Structure formats: C-alpha cells, structure tokens
Amino acid sequence: MGSLRLSSNLHHHQPWPIQYQPTTTYPFVEGLPCTNKNMLESELFVKVDNFNNKDKNRASNHDARKLVMSSNLMPQPLKGSYVGKKHLQEPGQKLEFVRTLLIDNYDSYTYNIYQELSVINGLPPVVVRNDELTWKDICYYLYEENAFDNVVISPGPGSPTCPADIGICLQVLLDCWDIPILGVCLGHQALAYVHGSKVVHASEPVHGRLSEIEHNGCRLFNDIPSGHNSGFKVVRYHSLVVDVESLPDELIPIAWTSSVDALSFLETHKSDVPSEFAAGSFSTKLKNGSYSPFSHSGKLQSEKVLMGIMHSTRPHYGLQFHPESIATFHGRQIFKNFREITEEYWRSSRASFLQERNFDYTACVQIPHVSRLFTEVPRHRQLVNNADGQLYRKAFRSNLLKNSEGNRSCSGMVDMVNLLHPSNGVKYLKLKWKRFKNLAGQVGGAKNIFCELYGHHKAENTFWLDSSSIEKRRARFSFMGGKGGTLWKQLTFKLSDRSDMTLKGRGFLSVEDAQGSTKSTFLEEGFLDFLKKELLSFCYDEKDYEGLPFDFHGGYIGYMGYSLKVECGALSNRHKSGTPDACFFFADNLVVIDHCSNDVYVLSIDEGCTSKTPWLDDTEQKLLSLKTSATTEGEEPNLQALTSSQCQASFLADKSREEYIKDVDKCMEYIKDGESYELCLTTQMRKRIGEMDSLGLYLHLREKNPAPYAAWLNFAKENLCICCSSPERFLRLDRNGILEAKPIKGTVARGATLEEDEQHKLQLQYSEKDQAENLMIVDLLRNDLGRVCEPGSVHVPHLMDVESYATVHTMVSTIRGKKRSDVTAVDCVRAAFPGGSMTGAPKLRSMELLDSIENSSRGIYSGSIGFFSYNQTFDLNIVIRTVVIHEGEASIGAGGAIIALSNPEDEYDEMVLKTQAPAKAVMEFL
C-alpha cells in the first residue's frame, strides 16, 4: 500500500474543498461579547506540519481539569509505520453504504446516534468505547484494513481536558486528518480543544432544553432552515462550552443559538400552550407547581452560544447540540448530510478506495461489538490481535452464520441452547390451562381470589403481580400464585463482598426446590447470566398457549435489586444491601385475571407429557366454591395487625432535610461541571414495626393507592415481604418481540378540589423543569432500547403525557422498539437496567456519582419486580412507592431527578411527597 507518513511532507496534500459564505460574520457569541470577525478568506491552505506544532503549543498551556494529559494523548503528529492510502483524482462512484466507527465516551445517548446512522448509512456502525482500542488498533482499522469511511465521536460526561473522559478521541481528531469526523457535544468540545481552544463553564448549564439555531449554510446544514422562527430547534445537554475567543483561525464557527434563551419542549409548540401557562406566568412559581427560580435560562445570557464548528482544511465537524435527540428538529438530515460529505470526500480524494474496502473485515468487526453489549467489558481491552486477524475473522464469520440461520425446534422455540450453552440440560415444558368466563366479577375480584387461594399461613411464599389500577387500560392482567408443583423452586442471589473488585457481579445463589432441599452455588458470571442460560434451556410448543391473551405462561417471578447494576456496566456498589440482590420463584402453577373481560385463567406447566391435571382441577373447585360466597372487590377486609411498642414513632429518614438539601447542592455542582446531565438522588425512610400482618398491609396499600404495576411478594425463608404500589413500567417484551418502556419523570400532588387538581395537572404539564427531566430520560431509554432493537424501529408514541393516580399526577412517556432476533430477553434487560428514571444520564457516570453521595444501599428500591416467562417474554416494573418489610423493619425509598433547573428545597418536598402514600398506609394499618 501507499506510504504517506503524517509528517512534514503533509503540506503537499491538497486541502479539502470547503463551502462557505465569505460575507458571513460571527454572531455575538459567548466568550466573544462585542467582536465581529470576517470569515476566512477564500484561500484556506494551511501547512499542516506548522499547524500541528501550533496545536502542541496551545494544548500544552491548557490547565487539565482532573489529570495531567498522558503522553499518548498529547496533540502530536502521528509517529510509527501506519500510513494512509494514496489520494487519487479519478472520479469515483456513489457508495452503497457508509461504514462508521462510532467512538463512545461512556454516554447514554450513543446508541441513539447508532440507530440514526444505521438507517442513514445502510449499515450499523461499529461502536467502541474510548479506552478499548489502542492508537495502533485505530490506525490498523482505518489505514491498513480500510474498515471505515468516517468516524463519529459521541457525547459524554466530563471534559475533553481530562484524559479519562475523552480517551483516544483527541489523538483521532489530531492525527486522522484525512478521515471525515463528526464530534457531538463532548466530541465537538474535543475538536476545539485539540486545536488549541479553551473549554470553559457555560454561563448556565442547559440540559433537556431547546434552542433555535442559526448556521452559515455550510454543507453539514444543507436543506436545513436557519434563524429565529425558522423551525430549526435543537436539544442541548451541556454545562461546558467552547470559548469562541480562543478559536484558532483554522476552526470556523458554523452554528450558534439564534437567541439568548433556552426553551422548554412545549414552548417549541407554542400554539398548543394555554395562554395562562405561557412564558412568564406559572414558570416562576415554586412548591406545588413548580419549576425552579430560573425560568427560561434563569438569568439572561448576554451572548449567543457557539453550537457548531468545522475545520478549514480537514473534513472535521463539531456540534454542541444533540442531533440524535427525539426533540431535535432536522437531526436526521444532519446525519444524512454527513454521509453525503463522506461520500463526496472519498469520490474526490480517494476514488480507488471503493475497490479497496475490506468487506470481510467489516463483518468481523461487527461480531465482537454485538457480544460486548451484554458482557462485562474490561477497560483498556484490545478487541483484536492484529497478528491473528485472519483467524479471528474466520471464527467469528462462522459463528455469525450459525446465529443467523435461526434454527427452530420444539414447534417454535429458537434452538439456541446447544449453540450457546451446550452443557445445559434442555427442559421440555408442557402447558395446560383452563378459562372461566366472567368469573372474576362473580367472586368479588382479584383480592378475594388471592385471599382464598393463597392468603392462609401468612401468605408465605406467594406472589401477586397486581394490576390494581386499570383506568385508561394502563394494565389488564394480574398474575398470582404460591408454592406449586414439582417444578417450583426459589432462587436467592447475594452479590459477593463489594470490597473485592475482582468479583464484580459474582455472588452466591441458593436454590430451594419443591421438596425443601437447598443447594448453594457460587456464580462466576453473575445472576443475569445464570437466568439467561435457564431461559434458553426451555423447550416448548407455541401451540400450548394459542388463545391466551397474555404473555406470562409460567416461569420466573420476583425482583432484581438495584445493586445488580454491577452486572450491567456499573463499576461497583459502594454499599451492601441488607436484602438479597435478587429473589425469584419458578412459578409452575398460576392464576391469571383479565380485568378487561373479568375472565379467570388457571395455568400449569410440567416437564414432559402428562394427561393428569390435579392442580387445575383442585383450583377450579376452589374458584367455583368461592363464587357462592363472594364479596365485592371494594369491601374493606377484616384486618388484624400485630403491633409492638416500637410502632408508635413515625418513619425516620436516613438523611435529615438539611443533609438531603446539601446532597442536592452536590448534585448540582456535578451537573455544573459537566459530570452529569441529571442525577436521580434518593434516600430511605425506615421504621421498626416488629411482627405484623404484611398481607393485610398490602391489601390496605392497594386500596388507598392503587397502581397498574403493583405487586406483593413474600419470601418467607428470607423474612422478606414486598408491598409495592408502583405506577411505572421499566421494560416489557411481548410475544411479538416489541419492547416497551414507560419512564416517569415529573410528579406533583393531587389538588384538594377539582379546580385545584386541574391546576396542579396543568402546572406539571407545562413545567419547564419536569419537561427537561422527562426528555433526558426519554432519550436515555431510546438509547437503551437502541442497543438491542432493529435499526429504525425505536420510536416514542407518547411523549410527556400526564397520568393521574390516587395521590399524584405524573408525567409519563412511552418508548417502543422491535427486538433484534439475535438478542435474548435477559440481554434486553441487561442493556437497560437499572431503569434510567432512577439513575439519571449519562447512566454509568451518574450511578458512580450517586454511589458517592448516597449513604446506604437502595436494596430492592429502584430495582424491578416482574416476570420472565419460559417463552422469553417479560414484564418488569420500577420499584417505587413501595414498602419493603425485612426482619421487622419497614423501609420506603424515594427521591427525585436533580437537574440544572432544580431548587433544593423543592426537591426535598418532592421526595417526601413520594413517600406519603406508602408511609401513610403503614401508619394507618398499625
């Protein structure tokens, strides 16, 4: 191949042609208050060797915020033997697809970019984190193998001045001068920083809010309008900005805000906003209605903000805003324009490259990328051994072909067992079921059925996924059961000692079978890997459940605690949970209630074929006998609570009001420094209750605070009962392969009167702060689903709807996508757990920061309760509004999202509001 070193001879390279408007001037931008600069003259030739020396001098004078810049990331010309391809002038042809290397800066929006590029490029990009490839690897892929046509650098937490935040990106931006590159947010700041610009604090952090954009008409904004009221509005997530005054001549401003104020999402649709909620009315109110003291940017900015730059001689672009956000206008067009820029660049510069592109190697690169989504990725790991590249390619191409064939067995189940886990024993499950039409209404409803069938002996070892709030079809089915047939078992998992970082995600699993025998095992690969193998080991016939209108037909039902985040990418757990980190029953017998039709179903699964149905027959007799003595669903049960002298005091918070407010201030400082966009701070309320009727408490809670994703779980051996009245779905996968998340962000109390209630609802709907919170989490969940869904399938059918419950109004969005065929149910959960509404964004950095602020384990709170059906469907909630009763103590977790617009006192009040319904239920019952 050609031998063109990136050294002093580079100034002979013809500069890349640029479209610009010579008469365009800089706007008033932040960092450059009263200066007008003419755009660069038409001749934009720069000697690259001198330019690189200037880069080094500028960068070396910058004050790194956290760490001294390591030598391998210092701006410098590329050294070594890696070379670029020859630049030929013959005309080329249009690329059928464009191959992108997407460098992930540990962000929670990267896979939104991934989804967009997959659709626009015609091929999914390859995603690598910023510390996973060495510079030698990057050069090998880009120049030896010609594996990529362009590079996109993702957003991320932190600053480009910190090597740990930006990784390999600085060297890519500096030395890959002949590769088209687009940097988004942190990537934009890195492009500026590597060429000598300063990255400074913005006059105000802006997260989850929109701005109108002006641009200079360059190619990146082709077919996109510009300026005030043009319809070009973009979402911003940033606390830092590029100081325009420090821009070198070779970096050209191409976009900036068209006004000094940021807007809420609904303000960009002003025709839909009632006049009484327009700017300047309710937005400055606090407490019940509230936003924050800072309405529309808080204090007015005196300058517009730089939103985009381009390099004068390189095909490098940066955007401060997020084109991938659900609320950004014309975002897809920007990515389409970048593809066209890439195509034009290669047509004019390297036409022979079209014949030299290595398709075989591109396929190979995709395979480890897919597998890495669902396994722990060691930092600084090299993905490919260059010397063994050919063997690596062949092995993974072989596996790809095997995985893509989709072989089926057992009349419908994808036979992945022998392929992925050949040592696992295959379990052949047979389902039998009966339906009783309209029975639920005749026997008094779900409560009476549960109490009759499972309420005896303190309801030990029972479960009830309880759709106790079914208004507006939020939920339809309830599932209940107890210790059942021969396949019943209980899984109890506890993570190993948190102080041993080598054991991250590993722990001890205890399995109790139907005969009462218990076995303990140390899981080297963690609980989720075990659960994945279990679900893959089931064989079944799809015909068995034809006619059933629900997706849970038996399988695992229980909870995953928040600490399982270490199996989903989090670095560690600072605090050890007092409760097991996961507990599940394997439910082989269950009763299902259809609240829409009032039908009742009884289901039983067994191994092999048998014509006997003793449990079905026995349960049928109990249900029919219950019919004659039915009471109504709404009748208050005769509850007997056992109390102790310790029960007289109210709940005590882990942190006082002053401490919690201080923690909010810490979160806001982290946000100001760019470490996070949103931090979901939580705490716990606790009360010693001694021995009590836990089922009675749950029945009281569901009566006072009905919820669509409520649940009762009793793990008697662990002395653990969970009384959950959650209104929030975490994630569901149905039989059609559709994933759905329904995050809640934004909560306000119900009003005392109808008029006041409607006022509170409208205040929530048009709250700038709550819209920003919700938008950030919607984009995060789009990212999480984007990791496991078909390209182009992730969508948001409902954005920022307000739903009303017994005690609160909440702002809820719905995100859906089509699951890829090569991922499993547990893969989907691993990609999204814990729910983003309980972490903030970016998720990994936010969880790390929250661990350092919160002073106790969240335990079950912030985790998920639900089921994993044996046919790979699942439905999981977010554990909020929940009383956890463990070893004589009741605990209630609560918190809220902290963003730049937060008011600390209001955040404390919102946290307390969220504990009121469960805490009041406990106090009333005692």
User: pLDDT of 142-155, one tens digit each?
Assistant: 999 999 999 999 99
Q: Which of 48-57, 257-266, 675-684 has the lowest mean pLDDT?
A: 48-57
- Placement of tokens 């919690």 in the chain: 660
Confidence of residue 48 (pLDDT cuts 50, 70, 90): very low
SS3 803: strand
SS3 597: coil
Q: Which of 324, 728, 907, 910 is catalytic?
A: 324
Q: Could you confirm whether 185 is annotated as catalytic?
A: yes
CB 190 within 8 A of CB 153: yes
Cβ neighbours of 517 (radius 10 Å): 9
Q: What is the DSSP string of 474-535?
A: S--EEEEE-S-STT-EEEEEEE--TT-GGGTT-EEEEEEETTS-EEEEEETT-HHHHHHHHH
The residue among 597 and 300 whose pLDDT is bigger is: 597
Beta bridge partners of 650: none
Measuring CA to CA, how many Å separate 452 from each of 82, 488, 809? 75, 20, 34
Confidence of residue 629 (pLDDT cuts 50, 70, 90): low
Contacts of 391 (CB under 8 A, 6+ apart): none
**909 closest CA partner among 684, 707, 667, 661:** 661
Contacts of 561 (CB under 8 A, 6+ apart): 577, 579, 580, 581, 582, 858, 859, 860, 863
Cβ neighbours of 228 (radius 10 Å): 11
CB 600 within 8 A of CB 438: no
Q: Could you confirm whether 322 is annotated as catalytic?
A: yes
Name the CA dihedral angle for 196, 197, 201, 203, rounded to a multiple of 10 degrees. Answer: 170
Residue 261 structure tokens = 């104020």
CA distance linking residue 554 with residue 644, whole number of Å: 39
CA distance linking residue 641 with residue 693, whole number of Å: 5
The residue among 88 and 716 whose pLDDT is bigger is: 716
**531 closest CA partner among 60, 889, 869:** 869
CA distance linking residue 648 with residue 645, whole number of Å: 6
Beta bridge partners of 678: 841
Residue 105 structure tokens = 């800066």
- Whether 224 has a pLDDT exceeding 80, the answer reads yes
Domains annotated on the chain, with CATH: 100-266+304-347 (3.40.50.880), 427-622 (3.60.120.10), 738-818 (no CATH)
SS3 75: coil
Structure letter (DSSP) for residue 39: P
CB 144 within 8 A of CB 109: no
Q: In terms of DSSP bridges, do strands 316-319 and 489-495 run parallel, antiparallel, or are they unpaired?
A: unpaired
Q: What is the pLDDT of residue 93?
A: 58
Count Cβ atoms within 10 A of the Cβ of residue 764 and give its class: 0-12 exposed, 13-18 middle, 19 or more buried: buried
- Whether 45 has a pLDDT exceeding 70, the answer reads no
Q: What is the pLDDT of residue 608?
A: 76
Cis peptide before 125 (omega within 30 of 0): no
- Whether 14 has a pLDDT exceeding 60, the answer reads no
Q: Which of 139, 169, 176, 185 is catalytic?
A: 185
User: pLDDT of 388-402, one tens digit each?
Assistant: 223 222 332 233 333
Percent of the chain clearing pLDDT 70 (strictly above): 74
CB 158 within 8 A of CB 671: no
CA distance linking residue 170 with residue 164, whole number of Å: 11
With both helix axes pointing from N to C terminus, report the angle between 657-672 and 904-925 in degrees, rounded to the nearest 10.
140
User: pLDDT of 242-254, one tens digit each?
Assistant: 999 999 999 999 9
User: pLDDT of 79-121, one tens digit each?
Assistant: 333 333 333 334 445 678 999 999 999 999 999 999 999 999 9
User: pLDDT of 775-824, one tens digit each?
Assistant: 999 999 999 999 999 999 999 999 999 988 888 899 999 999 999 999 99
Q: In terms of DSSP bridges, do strands 582-587 and 489-495 run parallel, antiparallel, or are they unpaired?
A: antiparallel
The residue among 459 and 4 whose pLDDT is bigger is: 459
What's the mean per-residue pLDDT of the chain?
A: 80
Confidence of residue 64 (pLDDT cuts 50, 70, 90): very low
Residue 697 structure tokens = 């408490």
CA distance linking residue 177 with residue 48, whole number of Å: 9
User: pLDDT of 483-519, one tens digit each?
Assistant: 988 999 999 999 997 545 455 779 999 999 999 999 9
The residue among 86 and 548 whose pLDDT is bigger is: 548
User: pLDDT of 336-369, one tens digit each?
Assistant: 999 999 999 998 876 555 555 544 444 344 434 4
Structure letter (DSSP) for residue 761: H
Q: What is the pLDDT of residue 654?
A: 94
Structure letter (DSSP) for residue 144: I
CA distance linking residue 908 with residue 926, whole number of Å: 26
Claim: this prediction has a pTM higher than 0.85: no
SS3 68: coil
Count Cβ atoms within 10 A of the Cβ of residue 709 and give its class: 0-12 exposed, 13-18 middle, 19 or more buried: buried
Q: Which of 195, 322, 553, 760 is catalytic?
A: 322
Please tell me the number of Cα atoms within 13 Å of 143 on its side-chain side: 27
Confidence of residue 235 (pLDDT cuts 50, 70, 90): very high
Over residues 406-421, the mean pLDDT reads 34
CA distance linking residue 771 with residue 269, whole number of Å: 13
**429 closest CA partner among 541, 532, 535, 515:** 541
Contacts of 582 (CB under 8 A, 6+ apart): 491, 492, 493, 527, 558, 559, 560, 561, 564
SS3 229: coil
Q: Could you confirm whether 667 is annotated as catalytic?
A: no
Q: Which of 415-429, 526-540, 585-599, 672-686 has the lowest mean pLDDT?
A: 415-429
Cβ neighbours of 406 (radius 10 Å): 10
Give 504-507 contacts, CB < 8 A, sequence gap 24+. Answer: 504/376, 504/566, 504/571, 504/572, 505/376, 505/566, 505/567, 507/581
Count Cβ atoms within 10 A of the Cβ of residue 70 and give its class: 0-12 exposed, 13-18 middle, 19 or more buried: exposed
CA distance linking residue 202 with residue 31, whole number of Å: 9
**138 closest CA partner among 167, 159, 162, 118:** 167
CA distance linking residue 874 with residue 825, whole number of Å: 7
Structure letter (DSSP) for residue 834: S
Over residues 460-477, the mean pLDDT reads 84
- Whether 415 has a pLDDT exceeding 90, the answer reads no
Beta bridge partners of 465: 479, 711
Beta bridge partners of 731: 876
CA distance linking residue 742 with residue 837, whole number of Å: 9
Structure letter (DSSP) for residue 289: G
CB 418 within 8 A of CB 605: no
- Whether 702 has a pLDDT exceeding 50, the answer reads yes
Beta bridge partners of 574: none
Beta bridge partners of 128: 103
